[in-house]
Amino acid sequence: MSFQPVKFYQTGTFTVGNRLLPPEERSVQASAKRYNSINSGHRACQGCGEALGARYAIDAAMEAADGQIIAANATGCLEVFSTPYPETSWQIPWIHSLFGNTAAVATGVAAALKVKGKRDVRVVAQGGDGGTTDIGFGCLSGMFERNDDVLYICYDNGGYMNTGVQRSSATPPAARTATTMAVGPEPGNVFGQGKFVPAIAMAHDIPYVATATVADLRDLEAKVSRAMEIRGARYIHILVPCPLGWGTASHDTIRMARLAKETGIFPVFEAEHGEIKSVLTIRRPLPVEEYLRPQKRYAHLFGKNPAVETIAHIQALADRNIRKYRLEARQGSH
Amino acid sequence: MDKPFAITLDPGSSLANHTGSWRTFRPEYVDRLPPCNVACPAGENIQAWLFHAESGDYEAAWRSLVENNPLPAIMGRVCYHPCEGGCNRQHVDAAVGINSVERFLGDEANKQGWKFAPPAVATGKRVLVVGSGPAGLSAAYHLTRMGHKAVIHEAAPLAGGMMRFGIPKYRLPREVLDAEIKRLVEFGVEIQLQTKVSDVQQALQDGFDAVFLGVGAHIAKRAYIPAGDANKVLDAVAVLRGMEDHDAPMLGRKVVVYGGGNTAIDVARTAKRLGAEEAIIVYRRTRDKMPAHDFEVEEALQEGISIKWLSTIKEAGESDIMVEKMALDDKGFPQPTGEFERIEADSVVLALGQDADLALLENVPGLVVEGGMIQVDGGMMTGHPGVFAGGDMAGSERTVTVAVGHGKKAARAIDAWLRGAAYAPAEKHEVATIERMNPWYYSDAPKTMRPVLDIIRRQSTFEEVLGGLDENNALFEARRCMSCGNCFECDNCYGVCPDNAVIKLGPGKRFRFNFDYCKGCGICATECPCGAIRMVAEEN
């Protein structure tokens, strides 16, 4: 396991920092001198999970690569809110690609650096779930298959949010979007469709695949720095709640990510060469209803006639995750 | 200027875009009052001293503690720790063992020989403190800190009041009591032993600018019990006081204690240690109505004390007593049933409560006494200007901790009075309730149990029953504190802000918001573990 939680120091490693820990054991985000790779003044919505996740991840990558990072960025929220020409929030070399070719652009940058003999400059590709799981999937699979030296980070908020919340192949079942309205006999996104790209990435047998959420900073940072120790194709899939698309309060972004992990809706694990090496186990087990109820995209499941069967179906999917990834709380575990 | 193909503008930073203008709510750092501090009758700032203990700086922790209470080693043994009843950690796993950390700090201070910081500039004012119990010692300590000369007059040959003559050794070893009193004397508190004050009015004319009365309540209440000539009927105060003499009181093999308070428990446990085969407590109501603290009742039962509930003593014979059984009526009051029972008893000890000896106040005009207690105002001043009172003689809840609190409060009021000002207590922050916090972030950490003396030694010796924590355990226990309502610099707000709008000011300096960029999402407030951030609506 790449991340050893520290206990018994009041908050241990649950919080961002901890005055009782030696500085070298504190998180990158706790440092007053962190990179702030994505700077203030960006136009993300209040409480944006993606803006937060991007800073967590890229700051950690910058720390690991000693500030030598080039990022390729797919079209999407992250690009739109950070870089309306001629302004940018990025404090790193940053290339805006098309919606679907970020992985290919990053591959090209990596090839150019190889030709120039600059081994110390590392390449990161990043995009949302639309650019990754739908539009850019061909390029991504190619990058995996060729084992190009790129860390690809997907910020998954479950839909095309900046164009008005449309469904993507990462939109969870039963969720309402502009293209899966809460009408008809089976309101919301249908069950049995969509894909879980981390599992597909693992099927490519690439050196490193991990999932993370913005609710577990220490785990996220450990995974990014582990990925940066490896050469070849690496994939990190980060769950980033979206107050706009999910219909949640702006202050609940981290809470929602925590609930997704604690209910088993979103499995947090890491895998090397197609094999799972560690999982974040559930600390306080909760029914999925706790996660669904605060989100307006699931509002049609509740109210006067709750959709008991649909909720049970989602619970069954979460239970399957818990079985499949062995997420159940264990004695003495995190 | 030459620009690449199709580029017409210079690149700019998003810092020009002040997103703070989007805000409808603004975060504010607040300090809220931790519930332990609210619950402490001695007015300790518990969280503040735990904060130092968490980093292993025990001397700083002790110095912070003694700003409010000069008797931590005593308090860490005899306090009934209402703070732990208030502790928010009980909603997470179990309350922080505040009392055990306090004892560790008190013992550490005695071991290391830490002294109080020298008092402020002398004011030249002299205050007479009557009685050297916890109220008197506390008042004298705080007065000395403020630069006044405090002189304690104590009628007994040794200082400490009920801490010496009421609390058994197995709860408070006398060397601990002596060490903390010695530190107060070295600090400048003058204690004149075997000096009984019989006329307060006279004292005020003898060069004292004010008087604090803390004479306690040591006159045992009596109940009329017809008794044969040969039977030994004693009172609890005399028995416990007698324990400090050379010869321990003779109680016999079978001892009956009458009453249901902590004193009754103390006497029964003392009798057992003196060699009584049977120590029986007779109490007229039920266990849940007993004024004694539950853990003391529990410890007594463990030591083999038996308790007869719903019973009163009708008469005491030469070698036995007659007990009448009681039954609770509709209102929960015990009523006689007419059923009697004889119990063997070599002696009967009455522990039915105590009254204050108010004889020294007879000539003082303006004093009001109600229900055997002297009446005081919010600043502990009696009806006579310049005469203050506290402790058992002025309070309904008679504990060492309450008395220490009275002494501190009175000292502040006396200081104000001597300066011709009115005593105004500082305004209090709103309470940090668990609903205002995010307990997710605290590590799972069960409470550390204190070692308990084995039962055989508890039944035969006066060794201390409850042990202390070692350094590792005390550090662990201190670190269980959740710092409710006050920033402990966990960096969460700084880390979780999606807009980098929190500025970290460095160790001990906390944080500041950058309102140029804060969009008011409120994640910082929701994810603050200790509830030190609140969201307030922006005006207009």
- pLDDT tens column, A165-223: 999 999 999 999 999 999 999 999 999 999 999 999 999 999 999 999 999 999 999 99
**Which residues numbered 192-211 in B keep a CB inside 8 Å of some CB on A?**
none
Residue B525 contacts by C-beta under 8 Å, 6 or more apart in sequence? A251, B27, B533, B534, B535
A326 touches chain B (CB under 8 A): no
Mutate to test the interface with A, among B476, B499, B504 (most CBs of A within 10 A): B499
Residue B448 has pLDDT above 90, yes or no: no
Is residue B355 within a helix (H) or strand (E), and if so which, with residue range? strand B354-355
- Entry field: residues in chain A: 334
The CB-based long-range contact list for A277-283 (8 Å cut-off, 24+ gap) reads: A277/A1, A278/A1, A278/A2, A279/A325, A279/A326, A279/A327, A280/A216, A280/A219, A280/A327, A280/A334, A281/A326, A281/A327, A281/A328, A281/A329, A281/A330, A281/A333, A281/A334, A282/A322, A282/A327, A282/A328, A282/A329, A283/A329, A283/A334
Q: Do B491 and A251 touch (CB under 8 A)?
A: no
Predicted confidence (pLDDT) per residue in B321-363, tens digit: 999 999 999 988 899 999 999 999 999 999 998 998 888 888 7
pLDDT of residue B450: 84
C-alpha B300/C-alpha B272 separation (Å) is 10
Question: By C-alpha distance, which of B70, B124, B134, B139 is closest to B102?
Answer: B70
Question: By C-alpha distance, which of B64, B80, B114 is closest to B403?
Answer: B80
Q: Do B479 and A8 touch (CB under 8 A)?
A: yes
Q: Do B488 and A19 touch (CB under 8 A)?
A: yes
Residue B29 contacts by C-beta under 8 Å, 6 or more apart in sequence? B487, B510, B511, B513, B532, B533
Q: Which residue of A has its CA nearest to B55?
A: A20
C-alpha B282/C-alpha B314 separation (Å) is 11
Question: By C-alpha distance, which of B49, B66, B69, B76 is closest to B134?
Answer: B69
Name the phi and psi angles at B344, rounded to 5. -65, 135
Mean pLDDT of B474-480: 93
B9 touches chain A (CB under 8 A): yes
A15 touches chain B (CB under 8 A): yes
B413 touches chain A (CB under 8 A): no
Question: By C-alpha distance, which of A186, A170, A102, A159 is closest to A136?
Answer: A102
Q: Are A289 and A265 in contact (CB under 8 A)?
A: no
The ipTM, to two decimals, is: 0.95
> For a pLDDT cut of 90, what percent of chain B falls above it?
74
Predicted confidence (pLDDT) per residue in A239-283, tens digit: 999 999 999 999 999 999 999 999 999 999 999 999 999 999 999
C-alpha B288/C-alpha A137 separation (Å) is 70
**pLDDT level of residue B39 (50, 70, 90 thresholds):** very high
Q: How far is CA B190 from CA A254, B131, B418, in A?
A: 59, 12, 19
Residue B185 has pLDDT above 80, yes or no: yes
**pLDDT level of residue B228 (50, 70, 90 thresholds):** low
Question: By C-alpha distance, which of A59, A50, A10 is closest to A31?
Answer: A59
* Spacing of C-alpha B459 from chain mean position: 28
**pLDDT level of residue A130 (50, 70, 90 thresholds):** very high
pLDDT of residue A2: 58
Regarding beta strands B126-130 and B149-153, do their DSSP bridges make them parallel or antiparallel, or are they unpaired?
parallel
3-state secondary structure of A238: strand
Question: By C-alpha distance, which of B159, B184, B226 is closest to B73?
Answer: B184
Mean pLDDT of B293-312: 93
In the predicted model, what is the mean pLDDT of chain B?
92
Cα maximum dimension of chain B = 120
* Spacing of C-alpha B130 from chain mean position: 21
Q: What is the CA radius of gyration of chain A?
A: 19
Q: Which residues pair with B381 in a beta bridge?
A: B388
Mean pLDDT of A122-128: 98
What CATH class has B126-218+356-418? alpha beta
Shortest distance between the Cα of A219 and any Cα of chain B, in A, equals 14
Q: Are B105 and B58 in contact (CB under 8 A)?
A: yes
Shortest distance between the Cα of B60 and any Cα of chain A, in A, equals 16
Is residue B29 within a helix (H) or strand (E), and if so which, with residue range? strand B25-29
Domain ranges for chain B, please list them: 14-31+487-537, 35-114+452-478, 126-218+356-418, 221-353
Neighbouring CB atoms inside 10 A of A331's CB total 4
Q: Do A29 and B489 touch (CB under 8 A)?
A: no
Structure tokens at A291: 């996660």
Structure tokens at B30: 């607040």
* Spacing of C-alpha B345 from chain mean position: 37
Chain B CB contacts of A251 below 8 Å: 521-523, 525-526, 535
Residue B311 has pLDDT above 90, yes or no: yes
What's the sign of the alpha-carbon dihedral A62, A65, A68, A73?
A: negative
Mean pLDDT of A32-45: 96
User: Minimum mean pLDDT among A249-258, A290-299, B82-91, B240-249: which range?
Assistant: B240-249
Q: Which residues pair with B213 in a beta bridge?
A: B130, B389
Residue A21 has pLDDT above 60, yes or no: yes
DSSP letter (8 states) at residue A132: I
Q: Give the closest of A9, A29, A88 to B479, CB-based.
A: A9
Q: How far is CA A78 from CA A38, B9, B219, B295, in A?
A: 10, 22, 79, 60
Structure tokens at A296: 């307006």
Q: How many beta-carbon pairs under 8 angstroms link A with B?
A: 162
Predicted confidence (pLDDT) per residue in B92-114, tens digit: 999 999 999 999 999 999 999 99
Residue A333 has pLDDT above 50, yes or no: no
Q: Give the closest of B22, B445, B529 to A15, CB-based.
A: B529
**Which residues numbered 116-175 in A keep a CB inside 8 Å of some CB on B?**
none
**pLDDT level of residue B231 (50, 70, 90 thresholds):** low
Q: What is the CA radius of gyration of chain B?
A: 29
Structure tokens at B213: 């009365």
Shortest distance between the Cα of B398 and any Cα of chain A, in A, equals 35
B21 touches chain A (CB under 8 A): no
**pLDDT level of residue A334 (50, 70, 90 thresholds):** very low
Q: Give the closest of A29, A87, A251 to B523, CB-based.
A: A251
Q: How far is CA B456 from CA A119, B167, B168, B307, B463, in A?
A: 74, 21, 18, 20, 11
Residue B216 has pLDDT above 90, yes or no: yes
pLDDT of residue B182: 98
Residue A53 has pLDDT above 70, yes or no: yes
Predicted confidence (pLDDT) per residue in B123-142, tens digit: 999 999 999 999 999 999 99
Architecture (CATH level 2) of domain A34-325: 3-Layer(aba) Sandwich (3.40)
DSSP E strand stretches across B442-519: 502-504, 511-513
Q: Do A42 and B54 touch (CB under 8 A)?
A: no
Same fold flag, B126-218+356-418 and B221-353: yes
Shortest distance between the Cα of B69 and any Cα of chain A, in A, equals 25
Please state the pTM of the whole predicted model: 0.91
B487 touches chain A (CB under 8 A): no
What CATH class has B35-114+452-478? mainly alpha
Architecture (CATH level 2) of domain B14-31+487-537: 2-Layer Sandwich (3.30)
Structure tokens at A152: 């690809």
Cα maximum dimension of chain A = 65
Residue A106 has pLDDT above 80, yes or no: yes
Name the phi and psi angles at B258, rounded to 5. -110, 115
Right CATH number for B221-353 from 3.50.50.60, 3.40.50.970, 3.40.50.150, 3.30.70.240? 3.50.50.60
**Which residues numbered 266-325 in B keep a CB inside 8 Å of some CB on A?**
none
DSSP letter (8 states) at residue B348: E
What's the sign of the alpha-carbon dihedral A162, A166, A169, A173?
A: positive
pLDDT of residue B198: 84
* Spacing of C-alpha B56 from chain mean position: 23
User: Minimum mean pLDDT among A32-36, A104-108, A296-300, B201-205: which range?
Assistant: B201-205
pLDDT of residue A211: 98
Is residue A211 within a helix (H) or strand (E), and if so which, with residue range? strand A208-213
**pLDDT level of residue B426 (50, 70, 90 thresholds):** confident
Residue B540 contacts by C-beta under 8 Å, 6 or more apart in sequence? none
Q: Do A82 and B14 touch (CB under 8 A)?
A: yes
